[in-house]
Amino acid sequence: MAQTVAMMIYLFFNLLSHSFLPCMSSGFSLKLIHRDSPHSPLYQPNLSDFERFKKNTKISEARASYFQQWSEAMGKGNSNKLQNVSLRLPLKYHDPIFTVELGLGTPVVKRTLIFDTGSGLTWTQCKPCIRCFKQDQPLFDTRKSRSFKIMSRKNRLAKSFKCTPIGCVYYIGYYSGQISAGVVSVENFAFQTTAGVHRVPGLVFGCGTTNLGNFPPKISGIFGLDKEPISFARQLGSLIKERFSYCLQAINSNTKESYLRFGDEAMIRRTNAQSTPFLKTKQNAILYGLNLSDISIGGQKLGLKQGTFPEGCVIDSGSSVSLLNRIAFLAAKKFFTTYFSKFKNIRRYVGREVPKGFLCYTQPNGFTNFPNMTYHFQGADFHVPSANLFFFERKFFCLAMVTSPNVTILGAYQQRNVRIVYDLKDEMLSFAPEDCAKDAA
């Protein structure tokens, strides 16, 4: 920390500040690229589909364990400063699912960032840097940008940071050993859209000068869209009519990118939309938690008792497959066991390639009786068709959900082909089924 403060002082006396170019517009979008799309900088061509599925499941499990510890710390009222809480979190595994590309500074330089609805402050590695992880893009050189400024402690967001008379610092720990710390700064951001470049001046972000741990070299920071006032979603505020949206495609060889849309573009065009409020419990102060009461499979309610989901269900884009807490998973597993036992040529499949905790079955030729699932949220039913409920290999298929002791997450695999709108003004999530492959730029 002392080093960071020293660097901040250094930056302070070496950087010039300039005024921004104002610009207003009602809607814009960003490409959202899944790690398994050949267009992704994170794409791993050598993995089989099942290996990718396993990897994505591990990412989701790691994510759940992160949320769990976070939620415990928040519940105990230890601190509402995630920056501090998360520093102590041990985590085995971390990899992003989606990346976005945007522009930063004047002149604009391209940044590839992790898209994360579970993170607050957007940050990127900055030059001059004390410790930076290896990244392919050149570090963001603050001295080369005419619009770079250090955030004033008079900024309304200053109370979210540790400030001294000369400025503020941030310190975020992600997962095990990954840290980004540096100077809280202000810059112009540029979003490339089909209508041209959309510029947003004066956004507060983290200029990371001390960044440790393993991040993929293809990325140079995090694009945070959680509920905190420091997140881009909240900072963009009325500029994006306080809403953003996405419609995730199923990934296959023909898949192009999905789109993250803001403002007027973040709309449900169909009439069959449903809405459910975000939970406002202490543990959900930052995350997009939804009030989940029960789950149906194949049209039958599991009959989960009230209180099965005390912290609700987090809708998350950084998890691929969904997670059900222990009680709900056991009930679902029991249902599937009974359900598939009715078909005489279907058996549990436990091949060598199948990790412990996966629920897989042999897949007879021509079998089509796959059940669907419905999440019963407060005032809205979120339907998961069987194509999003299972992962299909040739010989077998697996439930695309695993368990976590206490955390329930609605992951990206189950959100495919649904238009999802995060409405920060009315504090609710709206959704409707949509063919996301048709959600062109």
Ligand X SMILES: *[C@@H]1O[C@H](CO)[C@@H](O)[C@H](O)[C@H]1NC(C)=O
| C-beta closer to ligand X: residue 15 or 285 | 285
Candidate segments 3-11, 77-85, 115-123, 204-212, binder of ligand X by CB under 6 A: 77-85
Residues 87-126 vs ligand X: string with x where CB under 6 A?
Answer: ----------------------------------------
Binder among 291, 319, 322, 363 for ligand X (CB under 6 A): 291
21 by Cβ neighbours in 10 Å (0-12 / 13-18 / 19+) ranks as exposed
Which residues does residue 432 pair with via DSSP β-bridges, in sequence order? 419
Please list, in sequence order, all residues whose beta carbon lies within 8 angstroms of the beta carbon of residue 362, skipping any fewer than 6 positions away.
345, 346, 347, 348, 349, 395, 396
Binder among 56, 60, 83, 145 for ligand X (CB under 6 A): 83
Q: Is 41 in the site for ligand X (CB under 6 A)?
A: no
Binder among 22, 165, 299, 366 for ligand X (CB under 6 A): 299
Work out how close the CB of 405 gets to ligand X at its nearest, in angstroms, rounded to a whole number.
Answer: 4
| C-beta closer to ligand X: residue 107 or 357 | 357
Residue type, 292: L
Binder among 162, 218, 347, 348 for ligand X (CB under 6 A): 162
- Size of the residue set binding ligand X (CB under 6 A): 16
- What span, in angstroms and rounded, lies between the C-alpha atoms of 123 and 84? 16
Q: Is 275 in the site for ligand X (CB under 6 A)?
A: no
Q: Is 55 in the site for ligand X (CB under 6 A)?
A: no
What pairing do the DSSP bridges indicate for beta strands 401-404 and 289-290?
Answer: unpaired
| C-beta closer to ligand X: residue 72 or 264 | 72
| C-beta closer to ligand X: residue 5 or 108 | 5
Q: How far is CA 407 from the centre of its chain?
A: 16
Question: Which tokens belong to 368?
Answer: 């089509």
Q: What are phi and psi of 74, to 5 degrees?
A: -65, -40
> Within 13 A of 438's CA, how many CA atoms are on the CB side?
7
| C-beta closer to ligand X: residue 127 or 218 | 218
What DSSP element (H or E) covers 87? none
**Contact, 29 vs 240, CB < 8 A?**
no
Binder among 25, 84, 137, 152 for ligand X (CB under 6 A): 84
Interior CA angle at 78 toward 234 and 125, to 5°?
Answer: 50
Q: Is 372 in the site for ligand X (CB under 6 A)?
A: yes
Q: Which residues bind ligand X (CB under 6 A)?
A: 46, 68, 81, 83-84, 162, 279, 291, 293, 298-299, 372, 378, 383, 405-406
